[in-house]
Amino acid sequence: ETGVTQSPTHLIKTRGQQVTLRCSSQSGHNTVSWYQQALGQGPQFIFQYYREEENGRGNFPPRFSGLQFPNYSSELNVNALELDDSALYLCASSLGRGFEQYFGPGTRLTVT
Amino acid sequence: ELKVEQNPLFLSMQEGKNYTIYCNYSTTSDRLYWYRQDPGKSLESLFVLLSNGAVKQEGRLMASLDTKARLSTLHITAAVHDLSATYFCAVDMAGTGNQFYFGTGTSLTVIP
């Protein structure tokens, strides 16, 4: 059984650009959550997708958006990148809401 | 808004000593999780605490949960260098289904 995977591992973008991060959930997991972890801080909840629909959102602006596909993989899109968007982005999948989450290795985004 | 506070933020301890990390949270929660994070890495699940009075132990680590006090502890017994990492608690706010709120993290350094 494969775990949660994320791509790319690292990327560097310029302020104002747009970025798409990808997450493949663990087999059979229909719930994916995304988190942003700035350096030296705890992860912050961005949003969650359950069976292809957004199921809750943290305190992030609309330029953070997402999708979940029929195979339950997910994308996080960030428009108009700002320097403060530099962080480790983690996705986590679970069998459903209320089940234990399993985190992927993360994508390190640097905005210059 | 749910707040999760950990203390201490930084902990330097000698090998063989015991210490406790505290996690306080501000509102009702269904469950509490402890994670370990090594530098530049993702989150590794340590414990899932599902009810008041729950206690779990793995090796030199023991976690407990007091939902009435809204407090969880992570106790380290006879610390070894391999335990050096950052430890996070995370609270799953009641009814949200896996929308985690993370603590600030405790950076633990075990000195030989």
State the pLDDT at residue B111. Answer: 94
Would you list the domain boundaries of chain B?
4-111
Fold category of B4-111 in CATH: Immunoglobulin-like (2.60.40)
State the pLDDT at residue B1. Answer: 73
**Residues facing residue B56 across a β-bridge:** B63
Q: What is the mean pLDDT of residues B71-76?
A: 97
Whether A30 contacts A7, CB under 8 Å: no
Angstrom distance (rounded) from CA A110 to CA B76: 35
The share of chain A scoring above pLDDT 70, in percent, equals: 98
Using the predicted structure, report yes or no on whether residue A1 has a pLDDT greater than 60: no
- HEC string for chain A: CCCCEEECCEEEECCCCCEEEEEECCCCCCEEEEEEECCCCCCEEEEEEECCEEEEECCCCCCEEEEECCCCCEEEEECCCCHHHCEEEEEEEECCCCCCCEECCCEEEEEC
State the pLDDT at residue B94. Answer: 63
Q: What is the mean pLDDT of residues A21-40?
A: 94
pLDDT in tens, B7-32: 999 999 999 999 999 999 998 776 89
Per the model's pLDDT, the better-predicted residue between B2 and B63 turns out to be B63
CB contact under 8 A, B98 and A98: yes
CB contact under 8 A, A42 and B104: yes
> Among candidates B87, B105, B102, B3, which has minimal Cα distance to A36?
B102
Mean pLDDT of chain A: 94
Q: Among A92, A98, A106, select the one facing B97 at the smallest CB separation.
A: A98
Angstrom distance (rounded) from CA A71 to CA B67: 37
Residue recorded with tokens 């959930």: A25
State the pLDDT at residue A97. Answer: 75
Whether A61 contacts A78, CB under 8 Å: no
Whether B1 contacts B98, CB under 8 Å: no
Residue of A nearest to B4 (CA): A42
pLDDT in tens, A42-68: 999 999 999 999 988 999 999 999 999
Using the predicted structure, report yes or no on whether residue B91 has a pLDDT greater than 60: yes
Residue recorded with tokens 């608690």: B89
> B81 φ, ψ to 5°?
-55, -35
pLDDT in tens, A75-90: 999 999 999 999 999 9
Q: Among B42, B45, B104, select the one facing A90 at the smallest CB separation.
A: B42
Q: What is the mean pLDDT of residues B37-58?
A: 91
- What size, in residues, is chain B? 112
Whether A104 contacts B103, CB under 8 Å: no
State the pLDDT at residue B58. Answer: 96
